[in-house]
Amino acid sequence: MQKLCRIFKHSEVEDSQSADRFPNENAKSRLPPPLYALIIGINEYTSVRNLNGAVADALNMKKYLKEDLRVPESQIHFLSDAQATREAIIKGLQDLIADERIHKSDPIVIFYAGHGGEADNPWESNDSKIQMLIPHDFDGKKIHGIPDRTIGVLLSSMADKWDHNITVIFDCCHSSSGTRTDDPESGLLARVTSVPDDIPPNLDDNIWSRYRGPATAPSFLHHGLRSHILLAACGADEYAYEMDGQGLFTKALLETLFHVGTQYITYNELWRRICLTPVKQNPQCEGHYKHRILFNSKALSHRRIPFNVRKEGDKYVISGGTARGIDIGDEFTLYRKLDSTQKSSPLGTFVVSAAGPFESTIKPLRIVRFKDFESALALQTRVGTQQDLRVYIPENKTLTKLFNPLDKEFLPPDRPRILRVGKEEAELGIEMNNQRVVFEVLDKHVTKFGLRRIPFSIKANMGALSYILDSAARFHWHLRRTDRDESIKLSDHVQLELREVVKREANLDDLTWVVEPVGNSLVHDGVINVVEDPKTMYGIKIQNDSALPLYAALFYFNVNDLSIEPLYQPVHAGQYKVDPPLRPKGSITIGYGSGGEVPRTFTLLEGHNVEIGFLKLFLSTEYVDLSDIQQSSPFTIKRPVSRVSDFSTISTWDTIVITFFLRKR
């Protein structure tokens, strides 16, 4: 293991007791915010083979928006077949940027069903290929496809003006189509076509000169983007199919939306419920804000993720292990199905008896209505002792009165317990100072850099204290947990770098710039030591020196305010296969290259001289959903045994932590 930090600018909240964590129950009765949509469906093409179900998909999406979400037709721009020319599609996107009826944070939906394609990249970039949408009038000579970077810069401009509440849905694919991809026997038709590789380098220069942005960042296929959520029909090397006059993906998506609604479901949770039949593709959910409620831009906190359960002989196996934070002694309640209200009767309570990296064995503990079953879903209802937060509280009448109700017997069983211990054993100290509660940092890895107290205080209020300690427990648990199996250390073969980056002019013709790293990595002996400079930009590189494809998730743990920010997460594909983003001998860049994120600058809170944090990288050979690790600061945001596989496959996980120290000059 190694160790990091970063900075946020927030104002102090004196009392967090009144804050809400979850959507208000009255939300159902409220009118949704105005939603604006661009819906495109193309069956008929002038130069490539036609499709059968794309227009039907677009009409069904329009029907869903009008009838289920009650979106006025005047707020839906619909293009089909001959209407969906290259010029009209681009104008439709530009009109969304210019539409003054839209207000900040109003939801925007962009839907496309039709052909996609892939071509050689005519621009300087880390990627050798570009992906394109194919308009009705495409001919590959005078009328080209619409490349990812053109759509990306338009989406970035849209987000800059209207915020990041943008959902992009593409029922098409972008794999090279050198061979026939249809399946006549099953009636499957692939939505992909061949694209000539001689794309002119000056294509869409007029758009780039108007909507300027970093040339490497805005590809709409990059999962690190903050501008929008992308719901894609398939993986990067797969095909999107239609059958019986409908796209498999759009049909499954709309059926799921009809069933679950949008009031309480997040993009991540939606993806777990989508089921394609027949399964020939793996839909992808990409984007920084995929933890939000659909179309709503409200983030959920402390969400409980359901796990699949299956029967193996006389054992029951849950689809989560130590990589996900599950351990021996954790308890789960099982259900045949879950809905947004969680009103279905439980099958029983089970306890983890053996925990592997990615799966765990559970056994019945307290049976409510247990009947034999082959599969089920599980929600965690009690956490084990490994998540306990150890705090030091000196003898003080006010503190004792505040802390006594927080005894483990009064806390909900699915939350970590708060244990009062001696100062040498504690992770956090609680004291009174001028009639306010202050929090002492007791982690020696932090105090050696000069941070001895969290720079926030609260009134002596039990509700506020409970909320902060709950956040602190999650913070310290996720920060300290790592794989106990020392036989395979992925961290020995993966390097994490932080480097300064600069903007360099690409050329004077299109007035675009690229971001490039300069100098050496700033990580030295597991520590990054940075002096505050708001003009200096930074980027991150994750280098995989192993021969294994890996999944990576990077989080920033801010000791100053107990927030956990996701810096990079893999694409989310629910029950479907997710492509490992960290290829053998490959790398991921954040803030430069083709990673899809903008560079970072580091600035201290006003009046503060130091900030300490940890950059923690989770590595695994199998996909693990870590999206619920993220949490807002409790000070600044109101409440809102494993299966044995063959020896040719290694199943393991690991972590890397980098300490980051930011200071004044």
Determine whether domain 307-386 maps to CATH 3.30.1120.
no
Q: Which pLDDT tens digit goes with each residue over 361-419? A: 999 886 545 556 667 888 888 888 888 889 999 988 888 888 877 654 445 666 778 88
**SS3 (DSSP) at 143:** coil
Give the pLDDT of residue 637: 42
Per-residue 3-state assignment (H helix, E strand, C coil) for 188-227 = EEECECCCCCCCCCCCCHHHHHHCCCECCCCCCCCCCCCC
Cβ atoms of 322 and 606 within 8 Å: the answer is no
Question: What DSSP letter does each residue of 595-635 carry, written as one string?
Answer: S----B---PPTT--EEEEEEEEEEESS----GGG-B--TT
Which has the closest alpha carbon to 174: 242, 253, 90, 238?
A: 238
Predicted confidence at residue 33, as pLDDT, reads 44
Q: Closest Cα to residue 236, out of 150, 169, 167, 173?
A: 173
Structure-token match 């099958």, residue found: 347
What is the predicted pLDDT for the residue at 406? 66
pLDDT in tens, 102-131: 988 889 999 999 999 888 777 765 566 788
For residues 624-631, average pLDDT: 85
Q: CB-based burial of residue 664 (10 Å sphere; 0-12 exposed, 13-18 middle, 19+ buried)?
A: exposed
| Whether residue 641 has pLDDT greater than 60 | no
Question: Which runs of consecutive H residues, i.e. helices, occur in 24-64?
Answer: 54-63
| The amino acid at 54 | A
Query: Is this model's pTM higher than 0.95 or not?
Result: no
Find out whether 641 and 361 touch, Cβ atoms under 8 Å.
yes
Q: In this structure, which amino acid lies at residue 442?
A: L
Beta-carbon neighbour count of residue 536 at 10 Å?
Answer: 15
Nearest Cα residue to 327 out of 15, 642, 660: 642
Cβ atoms < 10 Å from Cβ of 227: 28
Radius of gyration of the chain (CA): 26
3-state SS, residue 86: helix
pLDDT digits (tens, 9 = 90+) for 475-515: 999 998 888 777 788 889 999 999 999 887 654 444 446 78
Highest mean pLDDT among 331-340, 408-417, 576-585 belongs to 576-585
Burial profile 239-266: b = 16 or more Cβ within 10 angstroms, e = fewer: bbbbbebbbbbbbbbbebbeebebebbb
Q: Which two tokens stand for residue 153?
A: 């810069």
Residue 518 contacts residue 504 (beta carbons within 8 Å)? no
Structure tokens at 109: 């939906």
Question: What is residue 596's predicted lDDT score, i.e. its pLDDT?
Answer: 62
Q: Going by CATH, does the domain composed of 490-663 fall within 2.60.40.10?
A: yes
Q: What is the pLDDT of residue 113?
A: 96
- pLDDT at 367 (0 to 100): 56
Q: Which of 15, 64, 90 is nearest to 258 (CA)?
A: 64
Residue 312 buriedness (CB in 10 A; 0-12 / 13-18 / 19+): exposed
Closest CA to 353 of 337, 332, 373: 332
pLDDT tens digits for range 363-375: 988 654 555 666 7
The counts of H helices and E strands in the chain are 9, 33
DSSP 88: H
Sequence-distant (≥ 6) Cβ neighbours of residue 7 within 8 angstroms: 532, 558, 560, 602, 603, 604, 605, 611, 662
DSSP state of 529: E
Secondary structure in 3-state letters for 447-506? HCCCCCEEEEEEECCHHHHHHHHHHHHHHHHHHHCCCCCCCCCHHHHEEEEEEEEEEEEE
| 128, 131, 135, 138 alpha-carbon torsion, rounded to 10° | 20
453: pLDDT strictly greater than 60? yes
Q: Which CATH architecture has domain 31-286?
A: 3-Layer(aba) Sandwich (3.40)
**What's the rounded Cα separation, in Å, for the pair 422 and 428?**
10
Q: What is the DSSP letter of 566?
A: E
Cα dihedral 215, 219, 224, 228 sign: positive
Residue carrying structure tokens 């619909």: 78
Within the chain, what is the greatest distance between any pair of CA atoms?
Answer: 81
C-beta of residue 552 within 8 angstroms of C-beta of residue 581: yes
Q: Which residues contact 444 (CB under 8 A, 6 or more apart)?
A: none
